[in-house]
């Protein structure tokens, strides 16, 4: 249980997590909207906690707007349809099965039969999505020049960025891109591959993104800016 709670105008109680950092110069706030609502605050060593609470209250309107715009989580159940990696997937459950089984009908439709009991349904669907996402990401990477391939690809569930690529060659991607159109996911993959050549966002970097992606890169980028929050709807 958090020591402090931010109570919104709707009555929602949002835990406040305060971290002290010696190198910090100011109070910083980071609202977290997934998988749970939390408000993270970082303060300098000498700043009293009471000042943090007062600062949070001064930012009330901004904080409430962020949580109000956050997508509401939707529970999934057998019979639901979810778009995964550009394909509409019908979810089904078979308690007699021990593993998931994907039945592909065509390029646009499939059925995912999930094994196990009801209490495992969501976690098994989530694990399936993450596994298929990584498989698809690696396939997209292989369409780029080999010298740009990362040394390692990992999937994360982040809210601040869709991907990153370190100087050591590790590419990190948000597996929630599995819920986006495939072209949008490919844009993020190519964006991060371009960082293998340019570790910045210079004109040369954006030229490389366009070269790797091809026609429509701005459309994909615009879709992600406008609809990115919707990718956190599930789980």
Q: What is the sign, positive or negative, of the torsion defined by CA atoms of 65, 220, 87, 95?
A: negative
Quickly tell me which residue has 């019908």 as its tokens. 90
- pTM for the model: 0.76
Mean pLDDT of the chain: 93
159-215: pLDDT as tens digits: 668 999 999 999 999 999 999 999 999 999 999 999 999 999 999 999 999 999 999
- Using CA atoms, how far apart are residues 172 and 192, in angstroms rounded to an integer? 9
CA atoms within 13 A on the CB side of 186: 21
Q: List where CATH 3.30.2010.10 sits in the chain.
A: 81-232
φ/ψ of 16, rounded to 5, equals: -105, 120
Written as six digits, the tokens of 88 are 């509409």
pLDDT at residue 1 in the model: 55
Segment holding 171, helix H or strand E: strand 170-174
- Using CA atoms, how far apart are residues 44 and 57, in angstroms rounded to an integer? 18
CATH topology of domain 81-232: Zincin-like (3.30.2010)
8 A C-beta contact, residue 134 and residue 86:
no
- Selected residue with higher pLDDT from 24 and 81: 81
Confidence of residue 32 (pLDDT cuts 50, 70, 90): confident
Report helix angle 203-213 to 217-227, nearest 10. Answer: 100
């Amino acid at each position: 249980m958090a020591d402090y709670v931010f109570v919104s105008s709707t009555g929602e109680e949002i835990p406040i997590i305060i971290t002290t950092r010696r190198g910090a110069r100011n109070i910083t706030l980071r609202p977290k909207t997934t998988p749970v609502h939390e408000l993270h605050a970082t303060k300098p060593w000498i700043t009293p906690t009471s000042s943090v609470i007062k600062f949070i209250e001064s930012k009330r309107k901004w904080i409430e707007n962020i949580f109000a715009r956050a997508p509401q989580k939707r529970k999934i159940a057998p019979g639901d349809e979810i778009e995964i990696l550009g394909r509409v997937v019908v979810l089904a459950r078979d308690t007699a099965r021990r593993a998931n089984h994907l039945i592909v009908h065509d390029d646009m439709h499939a059925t995912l039969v999930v094994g196990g009991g009801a209490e495992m349904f969501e976690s098994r669907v989530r694990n399936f999505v993450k596994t298929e996402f990584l498989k698809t990401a690696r396939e997209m990477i292989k369409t780029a020049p080999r010298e740009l391939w990362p040394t390692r690809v990992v999937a994360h569930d982040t809210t601040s960025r869709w991907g990153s690529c370190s100087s050591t060659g590790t590419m990190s991607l948000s597996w929630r891109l599995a819920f986006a159109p495939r072209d949008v996911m490919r844009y993020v993959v190519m964006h991060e591959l371009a960082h293998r050549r340019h570790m910045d966002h210079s004109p040369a970097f954006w030229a490389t993104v366009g070269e790797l992606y091809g026609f429509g890169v701005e459309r994909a980028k615009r879709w992600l800016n406008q609809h990115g929050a919707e990718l956190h709807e599930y789980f």
